[in-house]
Structure 1
């Protein structure tokens, strides 16, 4: 069977599993929905700090919350691999005429679908709270950026799952990486107000690439140059992360 139908079949399997556990989707959406009004209300007065550079904190925060939600949600993508390994499903998939790329591709496609739903809900909530997107093009590019970010993180999570092979180890690794990267970004605070050492780290942080690119396209006076190289960097990181996952998959298969 060609890779396309295989990916579609495995993607349908992921969607059916999600529909059997609606609480997971509800919790992931509620978490994202809570972040925006919570952080928005808590830090809304920072716009008055000289040098912040934005009059509406909800307009500033919404792209950050979209990317943080995509980032954290994708960090758990490897859990599906761990569960499949523990239940023997992965062994059956490897014994079937299914390519490694189809297994990985279905997982990434599922994460992209989940990210799209989450992002649309947050964008609508941000708009309801007063965020201004200055047209339709910005939100569409923002969605693309969120999908790229989630694909990078999901692929790395899957690679870690294939190497670590236990839920406890994957949870520890995900928490160790996710929270520091979130705070070492401009998701909630202007770059000009960050300490110098954090400001330097943000330039190599994929989460910050996504946040900065999203803000560049939803703000008035769109800066396509600033957004372009960051989106390109995320696309390149997607290819590298997917390659690492396929390599980890090959190593896992050889160890059986």
Structure 2
């Protein structure tokens, strides 16, 4: 009960900071909207079936765009924590009885809440702009995958921030890691059009499964086996990264 109460206290404080400047929640939608408006139309006239697409062009692109937003929207959350470390916020936490795990979970749940809101807005705008039919049951399940990705990468970002304590060190590290992960996840185009060696590499990328699952759910293909595969992989990754990052938090505030 203490963990839940402490997590709620941290989460409430962090959300209040977001709600004081809600414009930043919408600003984070600008980049995916650029992709939707300026890149999406390039796909609409593609012979998708002949190219091996399982679904239509926009039905393939939009779920990938949501996963991309989930990855980039939370993986860089740790930059804010570095500022808090520099200002002595984490140092002052040492004298409080707040659970160390709650310090992480409250922040990560703030990031996840913001992310889910942004994902819903992006999907609704995609429906208006591209005329997509939304499968609501599939969308709800897809948002659970988005939630798990957000929790995993937000926790990882905070753990890395505590380790490095420097934006100059953190930025190139995250960019070096995220680029191959992004390219091997088939976010922009499905990996069915990729050569065999690229598809083989992608099998070791859990986010490739997440992208395929998001596309299946978005299109109402609720029995596709990739869904439970993605759920298992992303769920395990989230648990692992939360555990690792919580230990970093505990050591930094003990």
TM-score, structure 1 length as denominator? 0.91
Q: Name the counterpart of 2:7.
A: 7
Q: Name the counterpart of 1:203.
A: 203
Task: Map 1:58-73 onto structure 2 (within 5 A).
Answer: 58-73=58-73
Distance 1:55 1:239, change over 3 A: closer
Q: Name the counterpart of 2:219.
A: 219
Q: Residue 167 in 1 paired to residue 167 in 2?
A: yes
Distance in 1 (CA, whole Å) between partners of 2:223 and 2:47 is 21
Q: Name the counterpart of 1:37.
A: 37
Distance 1:101 1:5, change over 3 A: same
Q: Name the counterpart of 1:188.
A: 188
- What do residues 51-100 of structure 1 show as CA deviations (whole Å, max 9, x unaligned)? 33246311111110110001001111212221111010111112211111
Q: Is the 8 A contact 1:47 1:56 kept in 2?
A: no
Distance in 2 (CA, whole Å) between partners of 1:216 and 1:48 is 16
Q: Name the counterpart of 1:105.
A: 105
Q: Is the 8 A contact 1:108 1:155 kept in 2?
A: yes
Q: Is the 8 A contact 1:77 1:107 kept in 2?
A: no
Task: Choose between structure 1 and 2 for higher RCO, CA contacts under 8 A separated by at least 6 residues.
Answer: 2
Q: How far is the alpha carbon of 1:32 from its aligned partner?
A: 2.2
Structure 2 unmatched runs, 5+: none
Q: What SS does the aligned partner of 2:225 have?
A: helix
Distance 1:54 1:126, change over 3 A: farther
Q: What SS does the aligned partner of 2:90 have?
A: helix
Distance in 2 (CA, whole Å) between partners of 1:24 and 1:56 is 32
Distance in 2 (CA, whole Å) between partners of 1:198 and 1:96 is 50
Q: How far is the alpha carbon of 1:47 from its aligned partner?
A: 3.6
RMSD: 1.9
Q: Name the counterpart of 2:149.
A: 149
Report the number of matched residues.
253
Of residues 185-194 and 62-71 in structure 1, the stretch that sits farther from structure 2 once superposed is 185-194
Distance in 2 (CA, whole Å) between partners of 1:151 and 1:201 is 25
Q: How far is the alpha carbon of 1:16 from its aligned partner?
A: 2.2
Which portions of structure 1, spanning 4 or more consecutive aligned residues, are displaced by more than 4 angstroms?
Answer: none
Distance in 2 (CA, whole Å) between partners of 1:138 and 1:87 is 43
Q: Name the counterpart of 1:237.
A: 237
Q: How far is the alpha carbon of 1:179 from its aligned partner?
A: 2.7
Structure 1 unmatched runs, 5+: none
Q: What SS does the aligned partner of 1:50 have?
A: helix
Distance in 2 (CA, whole Å) between partners of 1:193 and 1:2 is 50
Q: What SS does the aligned partner of 2:98 have?
A: coil
Q: Is the 8 A contact 1:47 1:55 kept in 2?
A: no
